A and B are shown apart, each in its own frame.
Chain A
Amino acid sequence: MIIEISNLHKSFKDVKAVDDLSFCVKEGELFAFLGVNGAGKSTTINILSGILPKDSGSVIVCGENIDKQADEVKLRLGIVFQASVLDKRLSAYDNLKSRAALYGISGEKFKKRLGELDKLLGLNDILKRPLCKLSGGQRRRIDIARALVHDPELLILDEPTTGLDPQTRAVVWRVIEELRKSQGLTVFLTTHYMEEAANADYVVILDAGKKVAEGTPHELKSLYAADIVRLYSHLEEAEDLFRSLGYSVCRERGYVDVEIKGTRTATQLITEHSELFDDYEVMKGNMDSVFLRVTGKDVREV
């Protein structure tokens, strides 16, 4: 395990930001940490990276106890913060150079690493420009380069794609995938985009500082998300029939959605009432539904 968190507690006065949180992250996996704003995600990340002290509990990162070997841990993890925390007036090059020096990387060693990062992230055109003159996507690339400058084993990404255009989001994900494949990098991700979480190897959902669900996306969808059968014909009859059979039915203009637990049930319904199924589709439950069901909150509305 690259991260082992047990019974973690952190309060800010009367507010319990993290409440008895325990979970593990396996080496090399893409781990998604979900929760609405204020759920305790960033607090947990700040504790993991040694910025914030915890109240109690145990945090082991890369086999090292964060309390005793904080510097060892810091050498082995890189973090991309929610908002860019680099020096806006300095050039991208100066930013990377000054941060690399803090890990003992300078001179030829820095040039070599910068070359690798340039190859990975395409930095050459923006290296000499001040950060405040870069677009959001370009700045994000520099943030990622900074997090990777010391070649960490664990990359923490705190909502890395929030506010980015789809093209830049795709670039960020391409880089993450490339790093995972080529270097076996472990990625710890928090995100508001459920489609990103759906690609994770393992997911933990947090609500009000507590863990409310965990598992692979498939496990979570099976447990918490229902399939939807959408019918585009015989709307009235379908609505009456499925309501009478006790299904949750939602009629909209032009279609009727019937919530069904499991694909097997859907197949059964289609076979038994084939006269209603002239035009239809079956949609698998997604991570949005999981999140909604588990927390009672829509992630896009908070």
Chain B
Amino acid sequence: MKEFHKLWALTLRNMKCYFKDKFLFFVSLITPMILLVLFVTFLRTVYIDSFNGIFAMFGFEAEEKIVNGLAGSWLLSSVMSVCAVTVAICSNAVMIQDKIDGVVNDLRTSPVKGTTLSLSYFIANFLVTLIVMLSVLIVGFVYLAIVGWYIPFKNVMMILVDTLCCVLFGTLFAGVIESFISTQGALSAVSTLVSSLYGFICGAYMPLSQFASGVRNVICVLPGTYSVGIMRNHFMSGYVEELGRLGLPYEGQQALLDGFDGNIYIGETQMPLWSMYVILLGTCALLLAAYISIVILQNKRHAKNKIKS
């Protein structure tokens, strides 16, 4: 129980450090917002044209409102899945900064287990990333409500569940990668690499259908793809159902889902939605095992030397 109180005190302290660092908080929050604005400003019309192209193939003409909403929801699902990882990497900077400033030495002079300390960073990062992502989601929902809202309540709930899954994945990913980082330079390098690469390799910036089949198959092996997949499903399905109700034939609905990653294929096999959750949560379990192993090994290495004498 005592250790639990220490864990909670450290988690609160880590979160306070994050929110008091206005620059860090601002960058974490503004990055998804900027991505959202850039998507809407520059890519919205490209996707609207693509949607209309598919509709035209089936002799269907959609209302502007539903097409705008569909484009917005596709873009928002991209932002949510990518930023769950990039924000987690950014907000975990508190842990790195503690190593750089020597604060971690002060914490280690107190009677706190190394595992409690590591767990406190993980929980704080999870909560901070969740708060930022929920803020982005609220902004995104407001945007969709303005341009065209066709997301049923159950999907809104599922999007919240998806956000939790994506944030868990992002936090564990950040935790594992950043366990080995102890300098500001290395943190910047990792943040830059992940920010620039991750969106492409998980199929968030471009629909998978636009990649060559070989590349597509490689991307489908990566678990991040399925964090995008579950988001796409719950953001887009309400719009697709509405299009079906308005007269878009089933083949047209499937073409839309196939072209914009509502359906994900490995080879010729379509991945069911539940399997995406299994892959994503299975990866989370593996990352958690890796994170725990790293923490235990790092603590053991410290303790082993102490017992050598």
Which of B30-38, B104-112, B196-204 lies at the interface? Answer: B104-112
**By the criterion CB–CB under 8 Å, are B111 and A55 in contact?**
no
Q: Please report the C-alpha to C-alpha distance between residue A87 and residue B101 in the assembled complex, in whole angstroms.
A: 9
**By the criterion CB–CB under 8 Å, are B308 and A130 in contact?**
no
A71-B111, A74-B111, A106-B5 given; A90·B20 CB < 8 A: yes
Q: When each residue 94-125 of chain B gets 1 if its CB lies under 8 Å from chain A and 0 otherwise, what string results?
A: 00000001110111111110000000000000
Q: How far is the CB of B306 from chain A (nearest CB, A)?
A: 4
**By the criterion CB–CB under 8 Å, are A102 and B17 in contact?**
no
**By the criterion CB–CB under 8 Å, are B101 and A85 in contact?**
yes
A50 within 8 A of B: yes
Q: How far is the CB of B120 from chain A (nearest CB, A)?
A: 10
Which of A93-101, A161-169, A214-222, A278-286 lies at the interface? Answer: A93-101
**By the criterion CB–CB under 8 Å, are B111 and A51 in contact?**
no
**By the criterion CB–CB under 8 Å, are A101 and B6 in contact?**
yes
**By the criterion CB–CB under 8 Å, are B309 and A98 in contact?**
no
**By the criterion CB–CB under 8 Å, are B12 and A98 in contact?**
yes
Question: Which listed residue, B9, B20, B105, touches A85 by the CB 8 Å rule?
Answer: B105
A111 within 8 A of B: no
A-contacting residues, B266-309, CB 8 Å = 302-309
Q: How far is the CB of B43 from chain A (nearest CB, A)?
A: 37
Q: Please report the C-alpha to C-alpha distance between residue A102 and residue B10 in the assembled complex, in whole angstroms.
A: 8
Question: Which listed residue, A50, A55, A104, A130, touches B2 by the CB 8 Å rule?
Answer: A104
A83 within 8 A of B: yes
**By the criterion CB–CB under 8 Å, are A85 and B103 in contact?**
yes
Q: Which residues of chain A are near B12, meaning CB under 8 Å?
A: 98
Q: Please report the C-alpha to C-alpha distance between residue A54 and residue B110 in the assembled complex, in whole angstroms.
A: 18
How many residues on A have C-beta within 8 angstroms of the other chain's C-beta atoms? 37
Q: Which residues of chain A are near B6, meaning CB under 8 Å?
A: 101-102, 104
B21 within 8 A of A: yes
A184 within 8 A of B: no
Q: When each residue 77-111 of chain A gets 1 if its CB lies under 8 Å from chain B and 0 otherwise, what string results?
A: 10101010111111000100011011110100000
Q: Please report the C-alpha to C-alpha distance between residue A58 and residue B307 in the assembled complex, in whole angstroms.
A: 10
A50-B108, A81-B105, A81-B106 given; A87·B13 CB < 8 A: yes
A269 within 8 A of B: no
Question: Which listed residue, A72, A74, A81, A90, touches B110 by the CB 8 Å rule?
Answer: A74
Q: Please report the C-alpha to C-alpha distance between residue A79 and residue B103 in the assembled complex, in whole angstroms.
A: 13
B-contacting residues, A129-161, CB 8 Å = 130, 146
Question: Which listed residue, B2, B9, B17, B306, touches A70 by the CB 8 Å rule?
Answer: B306
**How many inter-chain residue pairs (CB < 8 Å) link A and B?**
92
A-contacting residues, B218-254, CB 8 Å = none
CB nearest to A143 among chain B residues:
B106
A46 within 8 A of B: yes
**By the criterion CB–CB under 8 Å, are B20 and A130 in contact?**
yes
**By the criterion CB–CB under 8 Å, are B309 and A85 in contact?**
no
CB nearest to A91 among chain B residues:
B20
How many residues on B have C-beta within 8 angstroms of the other chain's C-beta atoms? 30
**By the criterion CB–CB under 8 Å, are A90 and B17 in contact?**
yes
Question: Which listed residue, B9, B102, B307, touches A98 by the CB 8 Å rule?
Answer: B9
**By the criterion CB–CB under 8 Å, are A55 and B109 in contact?**
no
B65 within 8 A of A: no
**By the criterion CB–CB under 8 Å, are B103 and A101 in contact?**
no
B-contacting residues, A10-59, CB 8 Å = 46, 49-51, 53-58
Q: When each residue 185-215 of chain A gets 1 if its CB lies under 8 Å from chain B and 0 otherwise, what string results?
A: 0000000000000000000000000000000
**By the criterion CB–CB under 8 Å, are A46 and B105 in contact?**
yes
Q: How far is the CB of A82 from chain B (nearest CB, A)?
A: 9
A66 within 8 A of B: yes
Q: Please report the C-alpha to C-alpha distance between residue A120 and residue B111 in the assembled complex, in whole angstroms.
A: 25
CB nearest to A77 among chain B residues:
B109
Q: When each residue 137-166 of chain B gets 1 if its CB lies under 8 Å from chain A and 0 otherwise, what string results?
A: 000000000000000000000000000000
Max chain A Cβ within 10 angstroms of own Cβ: one of B109, B302, B303: B109
A102-B111, A130-B20 given; A55·B308 CB < 8 A: yes
**By the criterion CB–CB under 8 Å, are A75 and B10 in contact?**
no
Max chain A Cβ within 10 angstroms of own Cβ: one of B6, B112, B309: B309
A74-B110, A103-B111 given; A89·B17 CB < 8 A: yes
Q: Which residues of chain A are near B110, meaning CB under 8 Å?
A: 74, 99, 102-103
CB nearest to A58 among chain B residues:
B309
CB nearest to B304 among chain A residues:
A53
Max chain B Cβ within 10 angstroms of own Cβ: one of A75, A87, A88: A87
A67 within 8 A of B: yes
A81-B106, A85-B105, A90-B16 given; A67·B309 CB < 8 A: yes
Q: Please report the C-alpha to C-alpha distance between residue A46 and residue B308 in the assembled complex, in whole angstroms.
A: 17
Q: Please report the C-alpha to C-alpha distance between residue A114 and residue B307 in the assembled complex, in whole angstroms.
A: 36
Q: Which residues of chain A are near B5, meaning CB under 8 Å?
A: 101, 104, 106
CB nearest to A54 among chain B residues:
B309
CB nearest to B106 among chain A residues:
A85
CB nearest to B109 among chain A residues:
A49
Which residues of chain B have a CB within 8 Å of any CB of chain A?
2, 5-6, 9-10, 12-13, 16-17, 20-21, 101-103, 105-112, 302-309
Return 12 A-B CB contacts under 8 Å, by A number: A53-B304, A54-B306, A55-B305, A55-B309, A72-B111, A74-B109, A75-B111, A85-B103, A88-B101, A90-B17, A101-B6, A102-B107
Q: A53-B305, A87-B13 are in contact. List 13 more A-B contacts (CB 8 A).
A: A54-B306, A81-B105, A87-B17, A90-B20, A94-B13, A99-B110, A102-B6, A102-B10, A102-B107, A102-B110, A102-B111, A103-B111, A104-B6
- Closest 8 pairs (CB-CB, A-B): A53-B305, A101-B9, A98-B13, A89-B20, A71-B111, A102-B110, A85-B106, A53-B306
